[in-house]
Each structure stands twice: as C-alpha cells, then as structure tokens.
Amino acid sequence: MIDEHQQEQAALHALGALTPAETAAFEREAAANPELARLADDLRETAAALAHTAPPVTPPAHLRAAVLETIGAPIPFGVAPRAPATNAHAAAIWLQSAAVAALLILGGWLWTDRQRLLHENEELRAADTLAQIQLRILTATPDRTTPGDAALLWNAARQEGRIETRRLPVPDKGKSYQLWVIDAAQKDHPINAGVVPIDDRGAGELRFHPARPSAHPAAFAISLEPSADPALAPQGPVLFVAQ
C-alpha cells in the first residue's frame, strides 16, 4: 500500500523536483518497495510525455550533421555540418538570415489571413533592405500557457511594426493586452508599444510605433494590464513573448 506521502515523493521524483538528498532517499525506498518502484516508473513515463506539450520546433538541419560528425558517423556527400553554435555566432547567423527566414516561417504560419501578412511583408521589403525587416512569433509564456497566437513584423529602420493576434482569450472587463518592446540596452525599461485591440474572437491587429526608439529590440512581449490606466511599465502578467 502506497500512502500519499510516497505518492508525492514519486511525483516529485518523476519531475526531478526533489533535492539530491531527497532523491537518494526516495530511490532507496523504491528499491525496497516494488509497488512504489512501479508507481515511480509510471509517473516518470507520464512526466516524459509532458515534453510533447512544448511548442513544436524543428531543429536546424545542420545539427543532425554536426551530431553525427561528432560521434564519428560517415556524413553523406553534400551535407556539411556547421561548427557548434556559439551565442555570438548563432546570433550573427540569425540576424543575417532573419528576414529570409521570416518568409519561410511565414509559410508555416497557418493563419487564414497569412496572405495579407505576406503581402505586407513584401511591401515592407520593397521599401527597405531585407535585413531591416523581422518576423517575430510570440509564444505563450510557460507560466501562463495562454491560448492563442500572435505574430508581428518589425521594421527597424522605420521604427514601426504591426502585430496580429488570433484566438486570444477576451480580456476581463477593464483589462487589455499591452504590447512592449524590450530594447537590448535597456531591458529593465520596456517600451510601451500600445494596446492590442481584441475582438470577441480574440483576433486583433495593431500597427505600432514604440513610445521610445529601440535600436536593438531584444524581445517583444504582451502583458495584461488595466485598460483605464495605460501602463508606463508592465504591471500585469506577461502572457506572450518573442525574442
């Protein structure tokens, strides 16, 4: 018979939420208690399934070649692994390919009005160099797991952007979604980019200019704020973020 305390320990163990000492004690106990060991196995499998709830992202193709090269596997002709990514290196690569990737990412973005967004992207591209335009997909923060999708286009040269949302929960009365730009040089002072209007289906659209210029936006975020008191700084919970 397994009591609630043992169930708790098994659940925490499955999630890796025990301290090292607690882990060792639990594993000793489970080794001597087959029923507890079975429960621990079951909960570990259950916990592993949570990995499926992470937003699906396809790993870059070069990683496969890099891994196989590292372990000494023969690499097929024409597949060139890249060096392991360093932050600066990867960031540089990302910056160089961001605009091109934007179009490719957009291809997978299953919005009903994605053609309209593409068209706008094309317009922006025509007006500026390709590298000045970025597409950012905002994702629900893990603490909140707010349903819905949001994506924005950012034109650094013009210091303007446009965000679109769909299927966001309609905010409670007196609350609204507020967009923020987090500049790399002033991360502690998010820049207000306006309130994102949401219709009764959670769809919204906002063309925005941040309240202050942002030379290097490190991220964009949506928080839930009181409507009647436009926030100068985020007060409410952050619901969506894109770096």
Partner 1 sequence: MAAAADGDHAAFAKLYDRLAGPIFSLVLRMVGDHAEAEDVFQEIFVRLWKSAPNYDGAQSSVFSWVVTIARGKAIDHLRSRGRRRQTFTESVDEFPEAAAASASAIEVTDAALLAQHHEEAGLVRRVLTELPGEQRESIELAFFGGLSHHEISARLQQPLGTVKARIRRGLLRLRDHLPGRGLGIRQAERESGKEAGSRP
Q: Which of residues 150-179 bind partner 1 (CB under 8 A)?
A: none
Nearest CB to partner 1, comparing residues 43 and 118: 43
Q: For residue 30, count CB atoms less than 10 angstroms from its CB and return exposed for 0-12, middle for 13-18, buried for 19 or more.
A: buried
Nearest CB to partner 1, comparing residues 47 and 211: 47
Nearest CB to partner 1, comparing residues 48 and 170: 48
Rounded least distance, CB 118 to partner 1, Å = 15
Q: How far is CA 16 from CA 9, 28, 40, 52, 196, in A?
A: 10, 16, 12, 17, 38
Residue 185 sits in the site that holds partner 1 (CB under 8 A): no
> How many Å is the Cα radius of gyration of the chain?
23
Sign of CA dihedral 108, 124, 94, 185: negative
Instruction: Find the binding residues for partner 1 in span 108-147 (CB under 8 A).
Output: 108-109, 136-137, 139, 141-143, 145
Instruction: Find the binding residues for partner 1 in span 8-27 (CB under 8 A).
Output: 8, 11-12, 14-19
Residue 2 sits in the site that holds partner 1 (CB under 8 A): no
Which x/- pattern, by CB under 8 A, does the window 205-234 give for partner 1? -------------xx-x-x----------x
- 3-state DSSP call for residue 165? strand
Residue 182 sits in the site that holds partner 1 (CB under 8 A): yes
Rounded least distance, CB 221 to partner 1, Å = 5
Nearest CB to partner 1, comparing residues 89 and 201: 89
Rounded least distance, CB 85 to partner 1, Å = 4
Rounded least distance, CB 80 to partner 1, Å = 13
Nearest CB to partner 1, comparing residues 106 and 203: 106
CB atoms within 10 A of CB 94: 13
d(CA 71, CA 170): 50
Q: How far is CA 61 from CA 18, 87, 104, 172, 210, in A?
A: 36, 18, 14, 43, 36
- Determine the size of the site formed for partner 1 (CB under 8 A): 78
What are the phi and psi torsion angles at 164 (to 5°)? -130, 140
DSSP character at residue 71: T
Sign of CA dihedral 158, 152, 86, 81: negative
Stretch near partner 1 under the rule CB under 8 A, chosen from 42-50, 116-124, 158-166, 208-216: 42-50
d(CA 121, CA 72): 43
Instruction: Find the binding residues for partner 1 in span 51-90 (CB under 8 A).
Output: 51-64, 66-68, 70-74, 84-87, 89-90
Please give the single-letter amino acid code of residue 168: L
